[in-house]
Structure 1
């Protein structure tokens, strides 16, 4: 058995969870926060048989596409008048970070 840990953007999570459940995969959802943009993420825990790992990853890739977003930089720039103005930058968001780990023991009580 394998445990798939998928960290996805909050806006991608609901549809992904629906599709995984429609395909009979049990999913545990955890709220998490990203480091760089400090935006909300969803961490999904999905336990599957070894043969199903590629199928689950294919579904995740389909529903968690990366895209560009304009945001303000955490660092501020100074204007000559001494006023701080946020600096806008374009960043990649979305996609997924996926870990697949072995499960030594699984019990459902």
Structure 2
């Protein structure tokens, strides 16, 4: 048995979790916050049999697209004050961890 932890954008999580549910996966959603943009993320927790891991990864990948956004930045120092200017960053996609499960108990 495996435990999948998938971190994806709040924008992508409803479609990904619905698709996982429709394909027989049970999903737990956690609200999380990313470090770089301090933006909200969702972490999906999925337990499944070893042979279904790739199916779950494929579904998550299908619904977590990468895209670019323009965000304000305060990285420039200009004559005694910080100058804010927009920066293009890549957002979306998914970071997925697959862990071995030694024991699973459902009460």
TM-score range, shorter chain: over 0.9
For these two proteins, the number of residue pairs brought into alignment is: 107
* Residue 74 of structure 1, CA deviation: 4.2
> TM-score scaled by structure 2?
0.94
Match of 2:96 among 95, 98, 101: 98
Q: Report the Cα distance in structure 1 between the residues aligned to 2:82 and 2:99, rounded to whole angstroms.
A: 46
Q: 2:105 maps to what in 1? A: 107
Q: 2:10 maps to what in 1? A: 10
> What SS is found at the alignment partner of 2:105?
coil
Match of 2:85 among 79, 84, 87: 87
> What SS is found at the alignment partner of 2:71?
strand
> TM-score scaled by structure 1?
0.92
Q: 1:51 maps to what in 2? A: 51
Kindly report the root-mean-square deviation, in angstroms, between the aligned alpha carbons of the 2 structures: 1.2
Q: Report the Cα distance in structure 2 between the residues aligned to 1:86 and 1:74, rounded to whole angstroms.
A: 5
